[in-house]
């Protein structure tokens, strides 16, 4: 079950003097849903285009199911792409769009018709098979693009910000659908987005990219709860970053002296190193419980109700930057209120970089 679908080996890409990708090494497991997440200009779309065969990397190699893809054009790769603007054929019916790839592969008419109607049924577009593209809504076009790519049964389906053009509600609905379809067909999906909520909702594996290199790879839970780098901690939701110096190493734990307190966190860094610790706003508490460390006291400068919680900004004594804290719905903060903050050492994450 852990068969390898795609492997990037030391991929580098430059456009003239601009370096777009550097030293990308990544393995993608067969049948998994992988999300490349990062800010625009992070290199995620470039990587997708290299995988799809639309760009030749300046260095490194790509293997799909163990086969070297160097010099193999997009048409000959076992990949299919769902483009951001869908890139549907406006002069064909929906059915014509979906049948296109099969026609190019010279699939006989009878077999083609069966596969097309199956694909359209999968994305619930059977009833509009004869319609033209311009008659469909944005969400429907997105499904046509998906059906058109999946019908050719690619080894890897590439999705370039497929939900970017949809409004928020439709986007959340489509991401559940995408995930369900991926589980049903079992094809490896590689999905590019800059929306971290979307990434967490659908990914089996999140690949966080920034400035042309990979920052972090892991399950959504791993990447969110134990981010490897400062960038990941900030990009995947909100984070409070505390800096300090390692004063003691004992077993799996190191003790870090921050501005306010000494904290024992999981990690392996030699004594005297400057490190950063990430704490999620929802991991800061106002009650003391056994095992929690006191971070110090501060006062509320800003607050707002966010439905599931109250979002507060708390200015701490001796801290350079204020902390972001999420208080429970029942605890209504007041401006200037004094708070004492506690954290579970397990929720404090030592960042590698």
Partner 1 sequence: MASSRLFRNFPAISYVVLIYGFIFLPVVVLVLFSFQDSRIPIPPFDGPSLKWYGAILDDRRMMDALFNSVTVGLLSSMVSVVLGFLAAYSLARLNIPGARFFQGLLIAPLTVSYLIIAMGLLITFTELGIPKSLLTVGIGHVVINMPLCFAILYSQMGEHQANVERAARDLGAHDLQVMLLVSVPMLWPALFASFVLSVTFSWDEFIIAFMVSRFDVTLPVEIWSMLRSGLNPKTNAVGSLVFMVSFVVVLLLDVLISRTRRL
Cα distance between residue 298 and residue 202, in whole Å: 38
How far apart (Å, rounded) are the C-alpha atoms in residues 39 and 212?
10
> Where do the DSSP E strands lie in 173-268?
188-193, 205-210, 213-218, 240-250, 253-258, 262-266
Which window, 33-41, 79-87, 204-212, 302-310, contacts partner 1 (CB under 8 A)?
Answer: 79-87
Q: Which stretch binds partner 1 (CB under 8 A): 77-85, 263-271, 315-323, 335-343?
A: 77-85
Q: How far apart are CA 212 and CA 153, in angstroms?
A: 30
| Interaction between residue 120 and partner 1 (CB under 8 A) | no
Q: Which is nearer to partner 1, 1 or 75 (CB)?
A: 75
Q: What's the distance, Cα to Cα, between the start and end of the chain in Å?
A: 33
> Rounded to whole angstroms, how far apart are CA atoms 210 and 233?
12
Query: Closest CB to partner 1 among 101 and 281?
Result: 101
Q: Is 108 in the site for partner 1 (CB under 8 A)?
A: no
Candidates 149, 188, 205, 240; binder of partner 1 (CB under 8 A) is 149
Q: Which of 6, 51, 88, 314 binds partner 1 (CB under 8 A)?
A: 88
Shortest separation between residue 53's beta carbon and partner 1, angstroms:
8
CA distances from 71 to 9, 26, 44, 49 (A): 15, 20, 21, 14
Question: Binding residue for partner 1 (CB under 8 A) from 1, 17, 75, 110?
Answer: 75
Give residues 209-228 in contact with partner 1 (rule: CB under 8 A).
none
| β-strand partners of 218 | 206
83 binds partner 1 (CB under 8 A): yes
For partner 1, the closer of residues 87 and 259 by Cβ is 87
What whole-number distance in Å separates Cα of residue 190 and Cα of residue 210? 17
Between 156 and 263, name the residue whose CB sits nearer to partner 1.
156
Using CB under 8 A as the binding criterion, the count of chain residues that bind partner 1 stands at 26
Is the CB of 111 or the CB of 271 nearer to partner 1? Answer: 111
Shortest distance (Å) from residue 89 CB to partner 1: 6
Asked whether 206 and 220 are in contact (CB, 8 A), the reply is yes
Residue 153 vs 282, nearer CB to partner 1: 153
Residue 87 engages partner 1 in binding (rule: CB under 8 A): yes
Return the range that interacts with partner 1 (CB under 8 A); candidates 87-95, 180-188, 246-254, 261-269. Answer: 87-95
Which one of residues 81, 142, 175, 188 is an interface residue with partner 1 (CB under 8 A)? 81
Does 152 bind partner 1 (CB under 8 A)? Our answer is yes
- One-character DSSP codes across 204-228: SEEEEEETTEEEEEE-HHHHHHS-S
Answer yes or no whether residue 79 interacts with partner 1 by CB under 8 A.
Answer: yes
> For residue 19, what are its two tokens?
């370096």
89 near partner 1 (CB under 8 A): yes
How far apart are CB 246 and partner 1 at their closest, in Å?
50
Strand pairing category for 240-250 and 253-258:
antiparallel
The sheet with strand 18-29 has its strands ordered as 18-29, 4-15, 59-64, 67-68
d(CA 214, CA 42): 9
**Does 74 participate in binding partner 1 (rule CB under 8 A)?**
yes
By CB under 8 A, name the one of 141, 148, 171, 280 that touches partner 1: 148
Which residue in 202, 278, 242 sits closest to 37, CA to CA? 202
User: CA-CA distance, 302 to 284, in Å (whole number)?
Assistant: 16
Residues that bind partner 1 (CB under 8 A): 52-54, 73-76, 79-81, 83, 85, 87-91, 100-101, 104-105, 132, 134, 148-149, 152
């Amino acid at each position: 079950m852990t068969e390898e679908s795609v492997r990037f080996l030391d991929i580098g890409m430059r456009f003239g003097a601009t370096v777009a990708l550097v030293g990308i090494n990544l393995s993608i497991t067969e049948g998994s849903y992988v999300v490349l997440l990062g800010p625009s200009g992070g290199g995620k779309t470039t990587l997708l285009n290299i995988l799809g065969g639309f760009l030749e990397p300046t260095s490194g190699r790509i293997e799909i199911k163990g086969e070297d893809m160097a010099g193999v054009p997009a048409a000959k790769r076992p990949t299919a792409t769902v483009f951001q603007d869908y890139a549907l054929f406006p002069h064909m019916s929906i059915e014509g769009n979906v049948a296109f790839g099969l026609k190019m592969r010279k699939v006989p008419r009878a077999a083609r018709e069966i596969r097309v109607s199956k694909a359209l049924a999968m994305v619930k577009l059977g009833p509009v098979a004869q319609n033209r593209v311009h008659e469909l809504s944005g969400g429907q076009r997105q499904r046509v693009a998906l059906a058109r790519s999946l019908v050719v049964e690619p080894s890897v389906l590439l999705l370039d910000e497929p939900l970017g053009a949809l409004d928020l509600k439709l986007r959340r609905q489509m991401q559940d659908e995408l995930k369900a379809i991926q589980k049903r067909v079992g094809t490896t999906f590689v999905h590019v987005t800059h929306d971290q909520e979307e990434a967490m909702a659908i990914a089996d594996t999140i690949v966080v990219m920034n400035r042309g290199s990979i920052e972090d790879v892991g399950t959504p839970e791993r990447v969110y709860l134990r981010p490897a780098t400062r960038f990941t901690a900030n990009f995947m939701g909100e984070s409070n970053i505390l800096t300090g110096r390692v004063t003691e190493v004992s077993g799996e734990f190191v003790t870090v002296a921050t501005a306010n307190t000494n904290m024992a966190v999981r990690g392996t860094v030699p004594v005297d190193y400057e490190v950063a610790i990430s704490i999620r706003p929802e991991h800061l508490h106002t009650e003391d419980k056994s095992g929690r460390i006191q971070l110090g006291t501060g006062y509320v400068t800003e607050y707002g109700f966010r439905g599931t919680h109250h979002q507060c900004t708390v200015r701490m004594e001796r801290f350079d930057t204020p902390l972001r804290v999420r208080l429970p719905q029942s605890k209504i903060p007041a401006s200037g209120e004094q708070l004492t903050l506690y954290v579970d050492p397990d929720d404090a994450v030592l960042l590698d970089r």
